[in-house]
A and B are shown apart, each in its own frame.
Chain A
Amino acid sequence: MTNTIGEFATAKLLFCIGTNMTEAHPVAATYLKNGVRSGTKLIVVDPRRQELADYAHIFAQLRVGSDIAFLNGVMNVLIAENLYDNRFVEDNCENFDDLVAKVAEYPPSRAARISGVPEKTIIEIARMLGTIKPAMVIYTLGITEHNTGKRNVMSLANLQMLLGNMGVEGGGVNPMRGQNNVQGACDMGALPNMYCGYQRVAVPEISEKFARFWGVDGLSTREGLKIAEMTNGLPAGKVKAFWIFGENLVATEPDIGHISHCLNSAEFLVVQDIFRNETTPYADVILPSAAWCEDDGTFTNTERRVSRVRKIKEAPGEARPNWWIFKEVARRWGYDWPSNSGRDLWDREIAPLCPAFAGITFDRMDAIGGIQWPCPSEDHPGTAVLHRDGRFSRGKGNFQAIDWVPSAEEPDETYPFVLSTGRRLVHYHSRTQTGRAKGLNERMPEERADISIPDAERLGIANGETIRVVSRRGSVKIKANVSKRMPQGMVWMSFHFWETNANRLLSGDTASFDPDTLTPSYKACAVKIEKMA
Chain B
Amino acid sequence: MGTSLVTAVINGKTLTAQPGMTIMQAARAKGIKIPSLCYHPALESSGACRICLVEVEKHPKLLPACTTPLSEGMVIFTHSPKAVAARRFVVEMILIRHPLDCFSCESNGRCDLQDLAYELGIEKSPFQEEGNVCTDYALDDTNPFYIRDMNKCVVCGRCVRACDWQSGYHAVDFQFRGIKTTVNPPVGMKLEDSDCVFCGQCVQACPVGALIERKSIGQGRSWETEKVRTTCAYCGVGCQLDLHVKGEKIVRVTGTEEGMPNRGRLCVKGRFGYDFIYSEERLTKPLIRVRKGDMKSGDDLFREASWDEALDLVASRFKEVIERHGSDAVGGVSCARSLNEDSYSMQKLFRMVFKTNNIDHCARV
Q: Using a CB–CB distance below 8 Å, which chain A residues touch chain B? A: 4-6, 24-30, 33-34, 141, 144-145, 149, 176-193, 195-196, 201, 210, 214, 216, 218-220, 222-227, 230, 233, 238-247, 249, 252, 260, 267-268, 270, 273-276, 281-289, 291-295, 297-303, 305-310, 312-314, 316-323, 325-330, 332-333, 335, 337, 342, 345-346, 349-350, 369-370, 425-426, 428-429, 432-440, 442-443, 517, 519-520, 522
Contact = CB atoms under 8 A, between A and B. Distances in A.
Contacts of B279: 275, 436
B319 interface: yes
A433 B337 CA distance: 11
B235 A244 contact: no
B29 interface: no
28 contacts: A6-B261, A25-B237, A26-B237, A27-B266, A28-B261, A29-B168, A180-B236, A185-B340, A185-B363, A214-B352, A220-B357, A241-B330, A243-B314, A244-B332, A276-B281, A285-B286, A293-B230, A297-B342, A305-B238, A310-B229, A321-B342, A322-B335, A323-B344, A350-B344, A369-B240, A370-B231, A425-B269, A433-B276
Given A281-B301, A288-B284, A432 B276 contact: yes
Contacts of B275: 436-438
B281 to A, nearest CB: 6
Contact of A275 (B272, B281, B285, B353): B281
Given A27-B267, A230-B358, A346-B341, A522 B365 contact: yes
Nearest to B357: A224
B333 A307 contact: no
B94 to A, nearest CB: 30
B315 A520 contact: no
B349 A329 contact: yes
B287 interface: yes
Contacts of B260: 6, 305, 369-370
Given A27-B239, A320-B307, A342-B339, A281 B345 contact: no
A239 B339 contact: no
Contacts of A24: 235
Contact of B334 (A25, A245, A283, A318): A245
A275 to B, nearest CB: 6
B110 interface: no
Nearest to A427: B269
Interface string B190-231: 000000011100000000000000110000000000001111
A310 B339 CA distance: 10
A439 B356 contact: no
Nearest to B343: A188
Given A28-B237, A180-B231, A225-B331, A428 B277 contact: no
Interface stretch (B83-91, B111-119, B171-179, B242-250): B242-250
Contact of B144 (A295, A337, A442): A442
Given A245-B334, A519-B364, A433 B273 contact: yes
B58 interface: no
B5 to A, nearest CB: 24
B168 A436 contact: no
B72 interface: no
Given A141-B364, A332-B311, A245 B331 contact: no
Interface of B: 143-145, 165-168, 197-199, 214-215, 228-240, 243, 245, 248, 250, 258-262, 265-270, 272-277, 279, 281-289, 295, 301-302, 305, 307, 310-319, 321-322, 324-325, 327-353, 355-365
Given A323-B341, A522-B364, 16 more contacts: A6-B260, A33-B168, A180-B238, A185-B336, A193-B357, A260-B295, A283-B289, A288-B285, A293-B274, A307-B231, A307-B238, A322-B346, A326-B345, A434-B276, A437-B272, A442-B144
Contacts of B330: 239-243
Contact of A438 (B215, B337, B340, B343): B215
Nearest to A36: B168
Contact of B231 (A144, A176, A189, A299): A299
A183 B262 CA distance: 17
A225 B335 contact: no
B362 A182 contact: yes
Nearest to A324: B345
Given A222-B328, A240-B321, A428 B269 contact: yes
Instruction: List the 9 closest A-B pairs by CB distance, nearest first.
Output: A317-B284, A301-B238, A246-B335, A224-B357, A297-B339, A33-B168, A26-B267, A288-B283, A332-B315
Contacts of A273: 283
Contacts of A522: 364-365
Contacts of A428: 234-235, 269, 273
Contacts of B318: 241, 268, 329
Nearest to B322: A241
A326 B344 CA distance: 10
Nearest to A440: B273
Contacts of A369: 240, 258-260
